[in-house]
Structure 1
Amino acid sequence: MKKLLLVGAAALFLGACSEESATKDTTAASTENAEKAPDAKQELMRFYMSIPQTINAVDADLNAFEAAQMKEALPEGDDLAAMKEAAIASAKEAGTAVEGIEIPESLADHKSDIEGAFASIKESYEMKAAELTKEASFEAANAKFVEADEVFNKMLEEQGLAPSSILNEVSK
């Protein structure tokens, strides 16, 4: 009986050791895979958040114009002309900044969609710059920007992330 008990205990011990070893092997393999392929969700979020940061670095004068326009507090005469010129330069810089954003290799499957979204954003800023030479109605330009938001939101939702709006982020 004692021998049977010893054999049973040894079997349990060996079974536990082999399970622990298998768990370590699985954990090591998972860690190795995680290190090789960055988490797509995190990479997408990092990239997505870099877009408004890049634009916000150069679009302050455009935002100031739009805010003053919404409050119906635009200056007149030379001050308005100077504000419009600064906003035009800001809009052009924003379009150029978007062109300079690099798409990470991990998002290569979405490269054509991202490039299309960037083209919409750039076109939106070009439209704003053109509107600033007139009465400055930005409805069509903002609608163009929404096209880019829709592309990015589709990508976010595919990763189980909540949709967002780059337009809202850059209009602050």
Structure 2
Amino acid sequence: MKKLLLLGATAALFLGACGEESTTEEKTTASTESTEKAPDAKKELMSFYMSIPQAINAVDADLNAFETAQAKETLPEGDDLATMKEAAIASAKEAGTAVDGIEIPETLADHKADIEGAFASIKESYAMKADELAKEASFEAANAKFVEADEVFNKMLKDQGLAPSSILNEVSN
């Protein structure tokens, strides 16, 4: 009787160990699969993230020239200033439109609503800059609106284990 009890206990331990081993194997397999997908997700996120300032920088040179001259207090006067403002307004409007052309990759579908919200903030920022150029050209509120988009993208970067960045800094140079 004691031998049967001992045999039963041994069998239970053996089966328990086998069960733990298969569970460990399943966890390892699942972990390996997610690790294999993670670099692709990171790579896709970085590629997408870098496409945003590239799209904007392709059309915002006149706006950047105005902002740089304003910061250095070297804005021209008279007709030259009016011409510079008109070009900056057109540049701001194009930059807002350029964001519409950026496609959200399928791998980021889970973040689509956040990304679209960030894009809306960027577009609103450029619309605010265009409006300000017709007045005194104070871009503080517009830049604050753009920072909202940066915060959304930085959260996504951090969630993937990547360093935060600033699209606003990338497009303001």
Counterparts of 1:45 and 1:56, CA distance in 2:
17
The alignment yields a C-alpha RMSD, in angstroms, of 1.8
Aligned to 1:19: none
Shift of 1:99: 1.1
Alpha-carbon contact 1:91-1:125 (below 8 Å) kept: yes
Which residue does the alignment assign to 2:75?
Answer: 74
What does residue 6 of structure 2 align with?
A: none
Partner in structure 1 of residue 123 of structure 2 = 122
Letter of the structure 1 residue corresponding to residue 95 of structure 2: A
Aligned to 2:100: 99
Counterpart contact for 1:74–1:80, Cα < 8 Å: yes
Give the C-alpha shift of residue 100 in structure 1.
1.1
> In the alignment, which residue of structure 2 is the partner of 1:22?
none
Length-normalised TM-score, structure 1: 0.79
Deviations 1:72-113 (A, max 9, x none): 000000000000000000000000000111000000000000
Dislocated runs of 4+, deviation >3 Å: none
* Partner of residue 153, structure 1: 154
Distance 1:139 1:128 in 2: 9
Determine whether 1:49 maps to 2:50: yes
Summarize the alignment of residues 1-172 of structure 1 with structure 2, pairs less than 5 Å apart: 34=36, 39-172=40-173
Q: 5+ residue gaps in structure 2?
A: 1-31
Identity value in percent:
86
> How many residues align structurally?
142
Q: Which residue of 2 aligns with 1:9?
A: none
8 Å Cα contact 1:38/1:106 also seen in 2: no
Whichever residue aligns with residue 40 of structure 1, its letter is: A
Distance (whole Å) between structure 2 residues aligned to residue 102 and residue 130 of structure 1: 27
Structure 1 residues not aligned, in runs of 5+:
1-29
The amino acid across from 2:87 in the alignment is A
Cα distance 1:168–1:155, how it changes in 2: closer, same or farther (>3 A)? same
